[in-house]
Amino acid sequence: MKLAIILDPLESIKTYKDSTYAVMCAAHARGHSIYAMEQRDVVLAEGVVIALACELDLLDDALHWYTQGAPAWHTLSDFDGVLMRKDPPFNMEYIYTTYLLELAEGQGARIFNRPQAVRDFNEKLSTAKFPEFMPPTLVTRQEALIRDFIGEHGDIILKPLDAMGGSSIFRVRQDDPNLNVIIETMTQLGTRTVMAQRYIPEIAQGDKRILLINGEPVPYALARIPKQGETRGNLAAGARGVAQPLSARDLKIAATLGPKLREAGLFLVGLDVIGDYLTEINVTSPTGMQEIASQTGFDVAGMFVDALEKQCS
Residues known to be catalytic: 124, 159, 209, 224, 232, 272, 280, 282
Dihedral over Cα of 168, 173, 178, 179: its sign = positive
- d(CA 255, CA 251) in angstroms, rounded, equals 6
User: Residue type for 161, please?
Assistant: L
Nearest Cα neighbor of 267 from 210, 214, 212, 209 is 214
Return the bridge partners of 44, or none: 49
Residue 171: Cβ-neighbour burial (10 angstroms; 0-12, 13-18, 19+): middle
DSSP for 150-217, written as a single string = HHHHSEEEEEESS--TTTT-EEEETT-TTHHHHHHHHHTTTTS-EEEEE--GGGGG-EEEEEEETTEE
- d(CA 80, CA 58) in angstroms, rounded, equals 19
End-to-end CA distance of the chain: 9
Q: What is the Cα 295 distance to its own chain's centre?
A: 21
Q: What is the Cα 305 distance to its own chain's centre?
A: 18
- d(CA 160, CA 169) in angstroms, rounded, equals 7
Beta carbons within 10 angstroms of residue 119's beta carbon: 15
Dihedral over Cα of 232, 235, 239, 242: its sign = positive
